[in-house]
Structure 1
Amino acid sequence: MQKKLPKPKGKIEYDRLKKKTDVINIAANWYLVLAMKNLAEDKEKQSGTFLRSQEGLLKDLKKEHEGLTADLENLFFAYLLFAVATELMNKDEIKASEKKIASVAGDLFKALPEEEDDLLKFFEKNVPTYAEALSFFMSAKKAFSKLKWDDGFGGKPWAKIADKTIMRLHGEIDPTVFIDVVFDIEHHSGHVFDKHENIRCDGRKLRAILDAKRDGALALLYKKFTEEHKYASSYVKAYYSRGAGAKWW
């Protein structure tokens, strides 16, 4: 039986939704740092001995990846709660009687506010921690998967989004896998980052990042994210320069 991973604990950081976030920048930074960290770890396993400068870089890459991952996970939980709730607010697109809806979803729909502008206050009050978030996502998954929705609303794509979040909350996948899944997952009309005005994402650019990520080569990622396009931050480019100086890539 697979050992469960540590689960997210504590409070959901809803303040992350109150400021503008560029998904393209954070995706490029995260995938570049992850690729550099993984390659550096492979070099460590192969050689067994490191120069002091190489040891310092690997330590810095691990710390940077850990920090970026924790930051993104906090953002994604707050955002996905909001995104799933906005989709649930399309209740009129469910092809079922009120009795059927209640039998499947209980008080889920009644609990949600009528206006999207009130969602953040609703979550801050009613879903303050990851424990409550798990309950919400489980109810949402049931509503999406067990009820018949009109085309283009709810249904299997949103049940999958809720399910992947549940898997992380249960400790079935680690933060790195979870973040990769969230960047990659789509609903009816494309990427998932289109439900909050402060979360900005160009779908064409995100697809380019994901295509480059799937190819896997660090040199290609760096070229795509820093030379052909200015997606990544300068501090991430500095890590790459240090690795090049250490003859790692």
Structure 2
Amino acid sequence: MDEALVGELEAAIADVGALLVRARKYRRGQTGKGATLLDEALALGDRARRLHRHEALDPAAARVLLTAAAALAARVRGLLSAVRAAPEYRAAVAAHAAGDAAALAAALPAIFVGLEPAPTPPDLFYPLAWQRRGEPRPVAEVVADVQHYRDEGIAAEGDDVAPGTDPELPAVLLLGEAPPDEPVMLRFQSGACGRPAYRLADTGEFLVYAPRLRAPFTVLLRPALETEDDEGAGAYPVWRAALAAALATANVPAEEA
């Protein structure tokens, strides 16, 4: 058995899987040709494992599977290109750039799987990074972050894997509940975002499609970490008090979570 060839085959099959993860967040990736591609990828992986298990994955068989994997990857890439060339997708990108909330609302649910309009979202939360390498960040840094979010807004993000977004349709991700393991977070009261919100059915997270989310918020500070065993628990009370004082000096509203 040619181990190098087997490794190449494993990488090729993994590449197909990664491409399918990207494709299946779109509705086109889970219907019609998209559903067929998943079935073919699963069958290809099963065939490779079966041959390997029976020590029948000789170079000739591996090359046949490599050719099939390359062809399958090309078809998934073609599907992704078709998604982004589709009229509804181009309309959504144009609406996002123009800030046209109505046009975006009409287009988005037809593009992404599991994306639901949330006309009356609950209070929404955005956790803040408060540690670096296990130690509390300097209070001045955290306050500077908060002031930046207040004055400039939170920048939208989008990548090829995250559900409900991609590089051309970025969004700000917010949580529908205050996470118990996050001691510092921003809270946007219901309706305060000023832009339509959408809920991801699988995770319960919310997305706001805007280049930047600039809206009023309150900083929530938990009185203590979730457990005394949490890293940084000993330093947290003093750090929290200093942060609360600095936020007050900066005229940033803050309250206990």
Q: Same fold (TM over 0.5)?
A: no
Which structure has the larger Rg?
A: 2
TM-score range, shorter chain: under 0.3
TM-score by length of 2: 0.21
TM-score by length of 1: 0.21
Q: Which has the higher contact order (CA 8 A, sep 6+)?
A: 1
Q: Which structure's residues are more often helix, by fraction?
A: 1
Q: Which structure's residues are more often strand, by fraction?
A: 2
